[in-house]
Each structure stands twice: as C-alpha cells, then as structure tokens.
Structure 1
Amino acid sequence: MSNTRVHTPSVSVFTDFKEITKMRLAISVVFSSVAGYFLGAEVVNFVTVLLLAIGGYLMVGASNAYNQIIEKDLDALMDRTRNRPIPSGRMSVNTAFIIASTFTILGLIVLYIINPKTAMFGAISIFLYVSIYTPLKTKTPLSVFVGAFPGAIPFMLGWVAATNDFSIEPGTLFMIQFFWQFPHFWAIGWWLFDDYKKGGFFMLPTGKRDKGTAIQIILYSVWTILVSLIPVLGVTGKLYLTPLSGVLILFLGLGMLYYAFNLYKKRDAFSAKKLMFASVSYITLLQIIYVLDKFIREWI
C-alpha cells in the first residue's frame, strides 16, 4: 500500500504536465520543425536539432498552457476537456501560468541561441495562437483561418533554423501546412461538433455539419495536394522534389481526398474522424518523403 501512495502523485503530476502542454501535439509540432530543419540544412548539426526540438516543445507547451488558462471555464463544459488539470481542480491557474511563462521565456532563449529569426517566428506563433486565435474560437469560424498561421509555422521554422533565412523555400513549406490545417481542423470540428457546441466554439466554416462545410473541406484538400506538389516543378529554389516522390505524395493526397468525399457523401461524425486520421497520416508521411527525397538525391 505504501508504494502505491508514493507512486501515484508522481504519475499524476506527470500526467497533468502532459495534459497542460498537450505533449502529443507538441511532439508532432517538433517533428514538423525537425523535418523542416533537415530539408534546409546543408550540414546537419545535431546540437541545433536538439535545441530546435527543446525550443519547439517549450513554445508549443506554453501556447497550450495559456490556451487552457483562458478557456478553463469553457473546458469544464465539454466532455473532451473537463478532466484537464485546471477545470478538474488538480492544477491552479497560478501554477499553469508559471509553467506557461517559464516555457515562453526558456523557449525564446533556446530558439534565439539557434538564430534570432527562429526566435522571432516562435514569438509570432505564440502571440497569434494565444492572443488572437484562442479568443476568436468562440466568436467566429474565421478562427480556423487565424489559427492556420501559427499552425503552419513549425515546418517553415525548421528551415529558418537551418539557414537563418526566410525565402521561397520556407514560404512553400509554410503554405503546405497552412492549407492542410483546414481539412484537418474542420474534420475535428465536425467529429466533435456536439462537444464543441457545449463550449460555444465555432469551428466549421458554415457553423453547421452541412453540404457547404463538406464542399469546403474537399476544396482545401485539393489546394493542399496542389501546393504540396509545387516543388516538383523546380520553381522553389533549393526546395526540390523528384517526380517519383511527387507521385507518392499525389497518391497520399488522393487517399485524403477520398475520405473528404466520403464525408461529403455520409456527413457523419465517424467519417469526419476517419478524415482527421487521414490528414494526420498525410502531413506526417509527406514530411518523411520530402526529407528522404532530399537525402537519397544527395547520396546518389
């Protein structure tokens, strides 16, 4: 019995830390940043990769902690979020604020060590997410458009960390992840529509799970695929993709598009959930293909 008593609080503290920083989301953001770094780096510096991973995690963790402080009362209304550390009463707002502030300062310092531009984009990301996107979520479906900006920064951030430069290449990486946000978040908004409604969140473009929303999801899926294939044309500077990799990404995109059309046809929560998973698979595999394509070309 005594072992259980000693062990449980530490598990609880770690679980709350995972929840307040949204660890899984933060790790996926770090993955995007590191992929962008590998694409931009002429010589891979693993110290920089480590700093980028730490700085990226700190910035995302800070954004999520601030978000949960602001939305604590709304989180208490939704099944999905009522057991988060703050609404459940396991963590005070002050503790969460200390975590968020510490993470912001440390994150900016770590990213600044890489280079000032990386820190600047990290700061822009936190500001947009916390100060503009979060308050807009209960006001207008345009919040998804605003949220797509900080959401699209990580892939691009890695390139900037590698080169200390913002140009056509990181701009293209930004656009890929920017357009991808729409089918991804609208799929989540559709899937969890009833729960979001309890919290007063407006996530879908028409405000409803209707034909108009489904059509927009299809259109933005198409845009995502088209933007993802631009590097095949050789017009994006050092960011280039071989036609073979382009074909692989096209097939991945058609897979995501299939689930978007399936949602249009069925218009149910289960189809939206499948599209959400398809969109996550798409962006993850796309980043892996981009990186492998670059390194295989260099080895050959």
Structure 2
Amino acid sequence: MQPDSMTQATPIQLPAEWRDFFALTKPRVMTLVIFTGLCGLLAAPGSINPVIGFTAILCIALGAGGSAVINQWWEADIDAGMKRTANRPLPSGRMNRTDARDFGILISVASVLIMGVAVNWLASIILAVAIVYYAVIYTMWLKPRTPQNIVIGGGAGAFPPMIGWVAVTGDVTLMPVLLFTIIFMWTPPHFWALALFVKTDYANVGIPMMPVVKGEKSTRLQMLAYCVALVPVAAAPWFIGGTEYVYGIASLALSLAFLALSVPVAFRTAGEGDKMVPEKRMFAFSVFYLFALFAALVVDRLLAANGVIG
C-alpha cells in the first residue's frame, strides 16, 4: 500500500494563458480605439510612411491596452462583485494581480517610448496623457468618487483620433480638437445607455454611476441633452471647412438618428420586468454611430484628395 503522499496529487498552479493577458487589454474597446485612431491618421492632411503609420496605430493599441490592464488591476475587487465582470482574468483567479500590473505598465511605457522615437514626440506626449487620464484620473480618482466620472473621464477615449492626426502633421490644430470633442460628447449617452441596464451591479459595489446616484429620470434626460448637443458638434468639422459635404451630410444623418433613438429612452419609465429594449437599441447604435461617423470622415478625405468632391 502506497503512502498518502504518493496517492494524492499535489495541485499545480498553472501560469496565466496568453488569452488572459489579451483579455485584460479589453479587445472590444480597443477595436474602436484603433479604428478612430486610424481614421484620424488617414483624414489628416499630408502623408506618412506606411511603416511609421502602422507603428503609430500599434502604439495607440498598446497604450489603450495597457491602460485597460491597469484599470482592471486596480478594480479587481470591484469586478469580482459585478456579474458583468466577475469572469475577467483577475476576479476569476486566473491571473496574479502583480503580473497584470507589471504587464500593463510595461506595454504602456513601451507604447509611449516607441511612439516618441519612431513617430514624433508630440504624439507620444498626447498618448502618455491619454494613458494617465484613463488609468489614474478616471479609474483611481473620478470613478469611485463622482457621478460625473464618465463625463470628465470620457476624455480618455477621445484622444486616439487626435494622436493619429498628430502622428501625420506633428501639430495640434482645430480639426483634431473637434474630433476629440465629438467623442467626448458621445461618451456619456453611449455609456449611460449601458449603465441603465447594469445599474444594480454598480450599486452593489458602491460605484456612483449617474443612474445609481441621480436616478434613471435625470440620467435619461441628460442623455437626451448630450445627443442634442452632439448634432452641431459632430457637424462642426464641415461647418469650419475642414471636410466636404459627404462628411457633413453623414454627420447630420447619423446624429439625428442617434437623437431620435434617445427620445424614447428619455421619456419613459422602466417598469418591473422591463428588458429595456430602447436603451439596448440606443447602446448598440451608439457603437455603430462612432464607426460610421469616422468612416465617413475618411471617405470624405479620400474623395476630396482624388478630386471627386470639393
């Protein structure tokens, strides 16, 4: 008969898989970040070497991913208390928190240094500001303290098209500032549409999101107000002559559709058992809205550059 030490296998803790590291970078969110950064690069006046352009977009992706990793390292305990995030690598126990923190810092620092050396230092500085804005200002300071967290913190996700633009031009003009402002104004109604149907999660972990602190009615009306303001803001690049009519018409059509979807969300009271279909429809369209708006910006630029319009 063999001793117990021979018959009982000692559990071995396996290292995290590459999929867990990748999941920490929030690839879904990164897709939108990369796309808007690429559109800023393609819409900017002038030209850029394809290799340098690819490097710029890679750095934007690494910076966004790094800040997302730091966000999840800091909020691991909060994520564990929310149904929507409980299965992420850290709260589920698939990864060591220290490893996640070091990984996030590593790719964040690498993105800034590579951007500076390979592209230009102004783009690098803006990328560094975006990383600190999201990982520190939003995650560590604003999010746990104020219902205006996503309003102020929305600037973090608004930097990519500005960085892409500056990668080409090397300077900041009114156009990249307007692209920043569009995403800044888009973020609250986009995020609050999601927060409305997961507010219980935020309430359970003590995060003061707008629907939790100010209530659904106030949140819904604020979403409508932001959608109203977004109409002229999104069209502003056309108004100042920075684009041609292709972008102008697309921006008005998309913004008015977004506004129309916000109206039933604003003027209704969710009943018991309500699946919040209008809110989910608005959230889904908000993602399409940003993709379509920035795609229209690039199409407009290409048509004008080839003499088709303008």
Question: What's the TM-score once normalised by structure 1's chain length?
Answer: 0.90
Structure-2 residue corresponding to 1:245? 247
What is the one-letter code of the residue matched to 1:56?
I
Give the SS at the match of 1:266: coil
Q: Structure 2, unaligned stretches of length 5 or more?
A: 1-13, 271-275
Query: CA offsets, 1:111-157, max 9 Å, x none?
Result: 11210011101111111111121122122112112211111111111
In the alignment, structure 1 residue 119 sits paired with structure 2 residue 124 = yes
CA contact (8 A) 1:149 1:178 kept: yes
2:296 to 270, 289, 292: 289
Q: How many residues align?
A: 287
- Equivalent in the alignment of 1:261: 263
Select which of 224, 227, 232 maps to 2:230. Answer: 224
Report the Cα distance in structure 1 between the residues aligned to 2:55 and 2:262, rounded to whole angstroms: 37
Q: Does 1:210 align with 2:222?
A: no
Distance 1:41 1:91 in 2: 44
- Equivalent of 2:68 in 56, 64, 72: 64
CA distance in 1, matches of 2:212, 2:243: 36
CA distance in 2, matches of 1:247, 1:125: 30
Counterparts of 2:152 and 2:80, CA distance in 1: 24
**Equivalent position SS for 1:219:** helix
Q: Are the aligned partners of 1:190 and 1:209 in contact in 2 as well (CA < 8 Å)?
A: no
Aligned to 1:30: 34
1:109 counterpart residue number: 113
Q: Show the counterpart of 1:279.
A: 286
Aligned-pair CA distance for 1:50:
1.0
1:93 aligns with 2:60: no
Report the alpha carbon displacement of residue 55 of structure 1 after superposing the two structures with TM: 0.5
The separation in 1 between residues aligned to 2:84 and 2:224, in whole angstroms, is: 26
- Which amino acid in 1 is paired with 2:177? G
Structure 1 gaps, min length 5: 1-8
Q: Write the letter of the residue equivalent to 1:37.
A: L
- Residue 41 (structure 1) shift: 4.0
Deviation at 1:17, TM superposition (A): 2.1
Mark the CA change 1:206 to 1:226 in structure 2 (over 3 Å): closer, same or farther. Answer: farther
Q: Which residue of structure 2 lines up, in the alignment, with residue 154 of structure 1?
A: 160
For the residues of structure 1 that align with 2:131 and 2:269, how far apart are their CA atoms? 34
AA aligned opposite 1:118: A
Partners of 1:49 and 1:212 lie apart in 2 by 43
Distance of 2:58 and 2:178 partners within structure 1:
24
Q: What's the RMSD between the two structures over aligned residues?
A: 1.8
8 Å CA contact retained: 1:191, 1:270: no
User: Which residue of 128, 142, 146 maps to 2:133?
Assistant: 128
In the TM superposition, what whole-angstrom CA distance separates every residue of 1:213-244 from its partner, at most 9, and x where no partner exists? 11110111121221111122235xxxx22234
Superposed CA deviations along residues 167-212 of structure 1, whole A, max 9, x for unmatched, are 2111111111111111111112112111222222222277244222
Identity of aligned residues (%): 31
Letter in 1 for 2:222: Q
Distance 2:34 2:289 in 1: 17
Moved over 6 A (4+): none
Q: SS at 2:259's partner residue?
A: helix
The structural deviation recorded for 1:44 is: 4.0
